[in-house]
Chains A and B, each alone.
Chain A
Amino acid sequence: MPDKTLLEMKQIEIQFPGVKALDKVDFNLRAGEIHSLLGENGAGKSTLIKCLTGVNHMDAGVILLDGKEIRPQSPQHAIDLGISTVYQEVNLCPNLTVAENIFVGRQPMKRGQIDWKTINARAVELMARFHQDIDVTRPLSFYSTAVQQMVAIARAVDIQAKILILDEPTSSLDDNEVKLLFDVMNDLKAEGLGIIFITHFLDQVYAVSDRMTILRNGHLVGTFGVQELSRVDLVTLMVGKDMDTIFNLKRADVKADAPYMLTATHIGAPGQVDDISISLRKGELMGFAGLLGSGRTETAEMLFGAKHATSGTIEIEGKKTDIRNPYDALMLGMAFCPEDRKRDGIIGDLSIRENIALAVQARRGFLKPLSKAEQNELADKYIKALGIATPDAEKKIGELSGGNQQKVILARWMATQPKVLILDEPTRGIDIGAKAEIQRLMLEMCGDGVSVIFISSELDEIIRCSNKVIVMRDREKVAELDGETCSQSQILTIIAEGAAAAGGEAQ
């Protein structure tokens, strides 16, 4: 059974205006296997998937499903053929109930009417299979992203799918939820489903998949069994360079007597975080580790005035301040790259130039506009300095890749010449090359005397860059570690069990 080929894609070519998005790519999937699809952003993963789901149309090539040639025309057509997809952003309707989200469009009917009883009963059964004991008659928006993700998978599986495509389903899940998802994936695999799994997290690739296919720049690099390829080799194949040359970084050098730039004492707000105290020296890089929802983002937002701190004080360069909104923070020389780039960072319809000049302009107030020449100067300077890949500064930021968008946001803040820069997950969802560049930029700025707060879910980059590591847990600061000496396992233990259990060196 494992060797039965379910899906075969041969010599797929797709041409976009100006670019060949896919060039003679082969891909095959067996029944009862989990097959990871890997590559940097822009390598052609999503284009290949969209070919299968009927969103993009091939210019050349053949798709065989169970040996029969298919040509998916639309998402609906793909679903009819037995190809189901679960996307990174939950694509369900928040206003409908959980049960209805699973069955909408194919509700069981009784005497010409929708049979709500059966729908709800079957939904309960299905969700139980995914270990979710929830009230399926509540609106979907009532539940966490993880549950929503499970509902999406339940829907995808229930429509008699032969192939399940999971497009970065894990980026907003915690460890336990990821484990749960993997259990479900393994169950489905045992039932003979073919699963295509796309993720940026290499550990997950090794934890769950049987084989992997690597794409680079629209070309096929190869298909390998997970045992055949080490992590380092995998990254090398994905990037085309080896890892050491990518991450050749040096920690910022902070003098012991460097003045404190930012001191927060006992800041907090009900329902957000409790009693956080940190002090950040000039030119220092402070890493924030902790789970999503542990209070990292809330702390950053409070420091920047995006959320109101009801208690505690914030001092900038030793002076007490009253930061009530982002504008106040901006005027005090602070800068903040938010976690959700699309929602809180980019202004999609405006050009790169306008996006870069925005914060500088906001600081000057609208009555003192930057001239077009000044804006162009700023834009050109940072496009060059950060290596933003664009033909010119007038391109809409929304049309750039994730990594380049992130660089524009960074440029927006660098242009204000901040004293304190807060970066919330600046490297999430961007490829390894761009990640390394952003880390390098961060460290360069530290070298220039900027103090940086760096929040990330990826512990290796925290440890690689930070002078000091703050560990957050359950909306509290539980430890402050030295960046040079701390280890991943130490941080993980603190996150999992608290500072005391880890031998508590909280200062």
Chain B
Amino acid sequence: MKKRFDISSLMRSKLTWAVVAEALILLVCLIVRPDFFKISYQPSTGMLYGNLIDIVNRSSEITIIAMGMTMVIALGGTDLSVGALVAVAGAIALKFMRWDVTVYNTPGDYTVYPFVLAIVVPLLVCIAMGLFNGLLIAKGGMQPIIATLILMVCGRGIAQIVTNGKQFTTGYSPFRVIGQGSMFFLPTPIVITVIVIVCVSLFVRKTAFGTFVEAVGVNRSAARLSGINAQMVIFIVFALTGFLSGISGLIYSSRIMSNDSNNAGLNYEMDAILAVVIGGTSMTGGKFSLAGTVLGSIIIRTIVTLVYYFGIASEATMAFKAVIIAVVIVLQSEPVREAFAKRTRARSQLAGGGAVK
């Protein structure tokens, strides 16, 4: 009896459906490509290769941003500016490392300014932009979606001003490591992502910060009257999201060894929000699940990979992504989950009743 009841509450959990969805998609991948799960080791690069590794690697940028986005959404808001911040971070980093045609002939292994600046300054600027969002929301009392719309609209303009509208390239190898190198047999982005996940999870769950975020997200006024500094919580969350967008921007620009103010981080805000929602965090705020978000991000990437296998052009993957996401979201929607839970409950009650007789 007890166990049956658990099934019904499982059916109601959004995370369950996310796991089921991922499993199904992977299963289809396996049917299409029997060697899908194969992972091989390449001694020359010291890296592991395989589809699964590739999926996790390619989902890094979104996963990292989505960690911050999870808390933004738990606060009951959304941060639309993350994609623009990715572009800003890349622009600043390349500004510091740019290969200048008047000095050198080829994009070789050198940097114009110290490498530290190319890493630290973009991250600081992104934190500052996150704080700007936080300022409008916490002090100005604006809705997050509107406040972050401002930076979303003008962020790419800022990125273009930084580089004066130019596209720089670099060949500096330490920078290449961030997006294309390897550590512990894994692509560096995966390692960075794991570090981010661990740090954020520790920060959120090993301190009371997560509870504070949830409290402010559900009822800001009550949280404040309980002695929680709600403004501080909002500042920290948006600054953190800005910082994570910056990391993501560095990874992105290291992958292309260039800056791209128009396309870097394009639609990242959408993908990140989607990852959070698929992961089971409600857009109305409150309880959140970081594990769910990671899963959500991987689901999105797995879908894209799967679609490649059917030999469909990369731009068209969006259509299939849309269909699968639609299915996941409909399955996760409240009425549908309730209906499933009710059916299971009814069945278990029937069975239970039978046993008593």
Residues of A whose CB lies within 8 Å of any CB of B are: 304, 306, 325-327, 329-331, 336, 338, 343-350, 354, 358-359, 361-370, 412
Cross-chain contact of B215 among A306, A350, A363 (Cβ < 8 A): A350
Q: Is the CB of B208 within 8 A of A347?
A: no
Nearest CB of B to A120, in Å: 32
Ranked 8 nearest A-B pairs via Cβ: A362-B227, A330-B227, A349-B286, A369-B208, A366-B208, A366-B209, A349-B218, A358-B226
Q: Is the CB of B228 within 8 A of A358?
A: yes
- With a cutoff of 8 Å between Cβ atoms, the chain A residues found around residue B98 in the complex are none
Q: Which residues of B30-59 have CB atoms within 8 Å of chain A's CB atoms?
A: none
Nearest CB of A to B82, in Å: 24
Q: Is the CB of B227 within 8 A of A346?
A: no
- A168–B19 Cα distance when bound, in Å, is 47
- A325–B227 Cα distance when bound, in Å, is 8
Cross-chain contact of A347 among B207, B209, B223, B229 (Cβ < 8 A): B223
Q: Which residues of B195-215 have CB atoms within 8 Å of chain A's CB atoms?
A: 206-209, 211-212, 214-215
Cross-chain contact of B212 among A331, A348, A366, A370 (Cβ < 8 A): A366
- With a cutoff of 8 Å between Cβ atoms, the chain A residues found around residue B219 in the complex are 343-344, 346-348
Cross-chain contact of A361 among B208, B224, B286 (Cβ < 8 A): B208
Closest to B233 in A: A366
Nearest CB of B to A343, in Å: 6
- With a cutoff of 8 Å between Cβ atoms, the chain B residues found around residue A412 in the complex are 226
- With a cutoff of 8 Å between Cβ atoms, the chain B residues found around residue A359 in the complex are 226-227
**A354 and B218 in contact, given A327-B227, A369-B206 (Cβ under 8 angstroms):** no
**A327 and B229 in contact, given A349-B214, A361-B208, A369-B208 (Cβ under 8 angstroms):** yes
- With a cutoff of 8 Å between Cβ atoms, the chain B residues found around residue A327 in the complex are 227-229
Closest to B231 in A: A325
Q: Is B287 close to A, CB under 8 A?
A: yes
Nearest CB of A to B84, in Å: 29
**A367 and B207 in contact, given A347-B218, A347-B222 (Cβ under 8 angstroms):** yes
Cross-chain contact of A343 among B206, B214, B221, B229 (Cβ < 8 A): B221
- A364–B207 Cα distance when bound, in Å, is 11
Nearest CB of A to B2, in Å: 14
Q: Is B313 close to A, CB under 8 A?
A: no
Nearest CB of A to B53, in Å: 35
29 A-B interface contacts by CB (under 8 A): A304-B225, A326-B224, A326-B227, A327-B227, A327-B228, A330-B226, A344-B219, A344-B221, A344-B222, A346-B219, A347-B214, A347-B218, A347-B219, A347-B222, A348-B218, A349-B214, A349-B286, A349-B287, A350-B215, A354-B211, A354-B214, A354-B215, A358-B211, A358-B215, A362-B212, A363-B227, A364-B208, A366-B208, A367-B207
Q: Is the CB of B208 within 8 A of A306?
A: no
- A320–B66 Cα distance when bound, in Å, is 47
Nearest CB of A to B176, in Å: 37
- A348–B215 Cα distance when bound, in Å, is 9
- A203–B216 Cα distance when bound, in Å, is 40
Residues of B whose CB lies within 8 Å of any CB of A are: 206-209, 211-212, 214-215, 218-219, 221-229, 286-287
- With a cutoff of 8 Å between Cβ atoms, the chain B residues found around residue A336 in the complex are 225
Nearest CB of A to B4, in Å: 15
Known: A331-B227, A347-B222, A358-B223. 18 other contacts (CB 8 A): A306-B224, A325-B224, A326-B224, A326-B226, A336-B225, A338-B222, A344-B225, A348-B218, A354-B211, A358-B211, A358-B215, A358-B228, A362-B227, A363-B227, A368-B207, A368-B208, A369-B208, A370-B208
- A369–B226 Cα distance when bound, in Å, is 16
- A325–B221 Cα distance when bound, in Å, is 12
Classify the secondary structure of B's interface with A.
Answer: helix
**A362 and B214 in contact, given A346-B222, A349-B286 (Cβ under 8 angstroms):** no
Closest to A348 in B: B218
Q: Is the CB of B223 within 8 A of A306?
A: no
- A311–B212 Cα distance when bound, in Å, is 32
Cross-chain contact of B226 among A348, A349, A362 (Cβ < 8 A): A362
Closest to A358 in B: B226
Nearest CB of A to B174, in Å: 34
- With a cutoff of 8 Å between Cβ atoms, the chain A residues found around residue B207 in the complex are 366-369
- With a cutoff of 8 Å between Cβ atoms, the chain B residues found around residue A362 in the complex are 212, 226-228
- A348–B227 Cα distance when bound, in Å, is 17
Q: Is the CB of B287 within 8 A of A361?
A: no
Nearest CB of A to B237, in Å: 12
- A329–B215 Cα distance when bound, in Å, is 19
Nearest CB of B to A489, in Å: 35
Q: Is the CB of A345 within 8 A of B227?
A: no
Q: Which of B206, B207, B208, B211 has the most CB of A within 10 A?
A: B208
Q: Which of A346, A361, A364, A370 has the most CB of B within 10 A?
A: A361
- With a cutoff of 8 Å between Cβ atoms, the chain A residues found around residue B218 in the complex are 347-350
- With a cutoff of 8 Å between Cβ atoms, the chain B residues found around residue A363 in the complex are 227
Closest to A412 in B: B226
- With a cutoff of 8 Å between Cβ atoms, the chain B residues found around residue A358 in the complex are 211, 215, 223, 226, 228
- With a cutoff of 8 Å between Cβ atoms, the chain B residues found around residue A306 in the complex are 224-225
- With a cutoff of 8 Å between Cβ atoms, the chain A residues found around residue B208 in the complex are 361, 364-370
Q: Is the CB of B222 within 8 A of A343?
A: yes
- A346–B219 Cα distance when bound, in Å, is 8
Nearest CB of A to B154, in Å: 30
- A358–B219 Cα distance when bound, in Å, is 13
- A366–B211 Cα distance when bound, in Å, is 9
Nearest CB of B to A338, in Å: 6
Nearest CB of A to B214, in Å: 6
- A364–B179 Cα distance when bound, in Å, is 40
Nearest CB of A to B89, in Å: 28
- A358–B214 Cα distance when bound, in Å, is 11
**A326 and B225 in contact, given A349-B286, A369-B207, A369-B208 (Cβ under 8 angstroms):** yes
- A325–B228 Cα distance when bound, in Å, is 10
- With a cutoff of 8 Å between Cβ atoms, the chain A residues found around residue B225 in the complex are 304, 306, 326, 336, 338, 344-345
**A361 and B211 in contact, given A326-B227, A330-B227 (Cβ under 8 angstroms):** yes
- A347–B215 Cα distance when bound, in Å, is 6
Closest to A17 in B: B345
- With a cutoff of 8 Å between Cβ atoms, the chain B residues found around residue A304 in the complex are 225
- A365–B229 Cα distance when bound, in Å, is 9
- A26–B228 Cα distance when bound, in Å, is 49
Nearest CB of B to A303, in Å: 13
Nearest CB of B to A398, in Å: 9
Q: Which of B209, B218, B227 has the most CB of A within 10 A?
A: B227
- With a cutoff of 8 Å between Cβ atoms, the chain B residues found around residue A343 in the complex are 219, 221-222
Nearest CB of B to A335, in Å: 9
Closest to A413 in B: B226
Closest to A359 in B: B226
- A341–B111 Cα distance when bound, in Å, is 60
- A74–B170 Cα distance when bound, in Å, is 66
Nearest CB of A to B6, in Å: 15
- A105–B251 Cα distance when bound, in Å, is 55
Nearest CB of B to A490, in Å: 33
- A114–B221 Cα distance when bound, in Å, is 41
Nearest CB of B to A498, in Å: 32
- With a cutoff of 8 Å between Cβ atoms, the chain A residues found around residue B286 in the complex are 349-350
Nearest CB of B to A339, in Å: 11
- A344–B214 Cα distance when bound, in Å, is 15
- A358–B225 Cα distance when bound, in Å, is 10
- A327–B227 Cα distance when bound, in Å, is 4
Q: Which of B218, B226, B228 has the most CB of A within 10 A?
A: B226
